[in-house]
Amino acid sequence: MKFGAITHYLTGVAVPVFSLRTVEGCGIGEFLDLVQFGTWCKKVDFDVIQILPINDTGGDSSPYNALSAFALHPIYIRLQALADDHLNWKAEFEQEIKEAAVRLNALAGVNYKEVGQFKFAMLKKIYKLNRDKIHANHAILSWIKSKPWLKQYAVYRVLKDINEQRHWKDWDKLNNPTNEDIDLFWNKNIDDVMFYAWIQYELEDQLIKTSKTLEGMGLRLKGDIPILINEDSADVWAQRQYFDLSMRAGAPPDMFSDRGQNWGFPCYNWAVLEKEDYKWWRQRLKQAATFYHAYRIDHVLGFFRIWQIQELERNGVLGSFEPASWISNKELNNAGFDDEKIKRFQIPTHPRSYVRSLFGNASEHVINKYFVNSDTDNIIFSANISSEYDILSLHEESYIKDKLLELYWDRLLIANPKGKNQYQLTWFYYRTRAFNNLFEEERRQLSQIFERNKARHEEVWRVNGRRLLKMMAETTDMLVCAEDLGAIPECVPDVLSELKILGLRIERWAREYKKPDAPYIDPANYPRLSVASPSVHDTSTLRGWWEEHNWDRNYYFSLLGLNGNMPEYLTTEVVARIIRRNLNANSLITIILLPDLLSLYYNLRTASAEEERINVPGTCTDKNWTYRMKDPVQFLIEYNEYNMYLRGIVDERRNRPLSE
């Protein structure tokens, strides 16, 4: 869908679909709930509704862990709105659905298991009752033919059921199918696969109606497209050629994680994708354009370079960037390092005495079992320790495994897994014993090589990012926005600006880090091609942020220009000033997280800040992805005092001349 011309500063709200609460819903927000939510948005003069990914994730609550890059999640279907022109079900099941909706809507948060099981069971009943009509419906059959991903997805989902939801790697049959295998299974199991195809037909019908209704109201729907896809997905299972299963994507170590991150998602085989003119990505974007006017590219930095980790490593310490400028053997030779030394730089080598000092009474046991002699004084890991997986699988106490990991990471070079005689320095090369035991001149030479290679990296990443993002920007009419947070290569802002892609500015992180005390950047000085937000789904909300004590809250309070002492909790006066500050951004779009907007009135807030947080990255708890509005959307629509107040501050932004 086309975003259209931007004639004024735009304002929007970010809300996961699952967080919506309506009287018609059934324990979770549903696609059609966005229509009612849009009615409220128009009352307060919003322009954009931003949602999280809505792809099928099976039983996983995380919207970023999808079973398909194309298929929608059945949990967002409205059972009561199933097309009754070709279905008979209301007399049979309407009362059962009503009773379940009352029970599930009484829950404070989303219970994915209970809601998912109920909806799936009800869809099964309706399908069985109407099987013949569905199989003979020309509209459904024609729709199936128009979706090249649908057959693979439906066959994959049926096979997941047959194999009790196990990963496709653990299936006895069809774990590496050809297109002919998939066609044959479809034809032989038409009743089972049509069930999943029909669900997707109904879901798409409801979401298209929702999107078009919002468009008719003058609203734009902004989606979220994750860069990566789950290994256990229909896409990787059926189109293995587009993925590199020997490597996993993640992030290098940073101030939050000394071990880096391994997200577990496979990397792409970009060479194969490029040969086919990125057909898979273009299909994915065109499918998204069926519903969205704009989209957010999750982790846009991954299109410039991804931190890749070999399959059997479990952390991010020994990763390397791809694509990259690799250091050649010749460059190292020219700096005075012969081939034998280069080889030793890749192998963790430690004095026996040092290893003894780490393990104390357990040292002889550890050395005899996991090390072999390298030379008279030094030892190296034995052949049975060749990965982090090997270490973490040992039947040893955790402190022994932790120290073994530290010894395993202590190396200077990582070899290119796809090339010969090419290397990168490890992330913490300057902290390793290997580096600090070198002569001063050798350390200086290695550091100079590292700095030269950093500069070469930038050009490699610039070319790669421009090529891939140009493909994405030209494929549809959607407005492209980028999540460009983190340690950003210098080339990123220029490429985004060149392609007219909007970056992201989160106020608490938008600071001038090269200046003393890293002052906050005034949102009025943000780039025009950006989206401004005070919070996002992966941060604490404004209430939660305010109650944290590990930040310069007093200094930030002074920027708000309020009189008196700084309050210990977030008052409505303070939250209003923060929201106004973000609405004053020079960014084309300001997006405010729904819980932050509800914090403007005390009676709209949840009991505690913890209840309104959407996700805590790096954790896996039953609280993540379960936030729901305390009150139904209908309550907001009728809350005239609140709506008039909110519209007043939104219109201050809307009425500013865009030419400023």
Say which residues have a Cβ less than 8 Å from residue 26's Cβ, sequence separation at least 6: 78, 79, 97, 100, 101, 104, 105, 115, 118, 119
Distance of CA 247 to the CA centre of its chain: 18
DSSP reduced 3-state for 176: coil
Within 10 angstroms of residue 497's Cβ, the number of other Cβ atoms is: 15
CB-based contact 634:23 (threshold 8 Å): yes
Say which residues have a Cβ less than 8 Å from residue 266's Cβ, sequence separation at least 6: 228, 229, 231, 236, 243, 244, 245, 247, 248, 249
In whole angstroms, give the CA distance from residue 242 to residue 149: 14
Asked if residue 16 has a cis previous peptide bond (ω within 30° of 0), the answer is: no
CB-based contact 11:46 (threshold 8 Å): yes
278 burial via Cβ count (<10 Å: 0-12, 13-18, 19+) = buried
User: Residue 86's pLDDT is what?
Assistant: 63
DSSP state of 431: G
Query: What Å distances lie between residue 2 and 106, 291, 415, CA to CA?
Result: 38, 10, 45
In whole angstroms, give the CA distance from residue 637 to residue 643: 8
In this structure, the dihedral spanned by the alpha carbons of residues 193, 199, 204 and 207, taken in order and rounded to 10 degrees, is: -160
User: Residue 85's pLDDT is what?
Assistant: 65
Backbone phi, psi, residue 425, to 5° = -70, 140
User: Residue 660's pLDDT is what?
Assistant: 57
CB-based contact 368:374 (threshold 8 Å): no
DSSP state of 62: -
Name which of 632, 653, 650, 506 is nearest 46 in CA terms: 650
Residue entry with tokens 């379940």: 100
- Mean pLDDT per segment of 10 residues, for the chain of length 660 residues? 94 98 96 98 98 97 97 97 75 90 93 96 95 94 97 98 98 97 98 98 97 98 97 98 97 87 96 98 98 97 96 96 95 95 94 95 96 92 96 96 97 91 94 93 94 93 98 98 92 97 97 94 97 97 94 94 91 98 98 98 96 92 95 98 98 89
DSSP reduced 3-state for 221: strand
Query: What Å distances lie between residue 324 and 210, 319, 461, CA to CA?
Result: 43, 12, 7
Name which of 626, 623, 572 is nearest 597 in CA terms: 572
3-state secondary structure 294-348: EEEECCCHHHHCEEEEECCCCCCCCCEEECCCCEEHHHHHHCCCCHHHHHHHCCC
User: Residue 603's pLDDT is what?
Assistant: 97
In whole angstroms, give the CA distance from residue 166 to residue 110: 24
Tokens (6 digits) for 650: 């939104």
DSSP state of 562: -
Per DSSP, the residues of 489-536 read -THHHHHHHHTT-BEEEETTT-B-TTSTT-PBPPGGGS-SSEEEES--
DSSP reduced 3-state for 440: helix
CB-based contact 406:426 (threshold 8 Å): no
Angle of helix 33-43 relative to helix 640-654, nearest 10 degrees?
70
Say which residues have a Cβ less than 8 Å from residue 138's Cβ, sequence separation at least 6: none
- Kindly report the pTM of this predicted structure: 0.95
Beta bridge partners of 267: 244
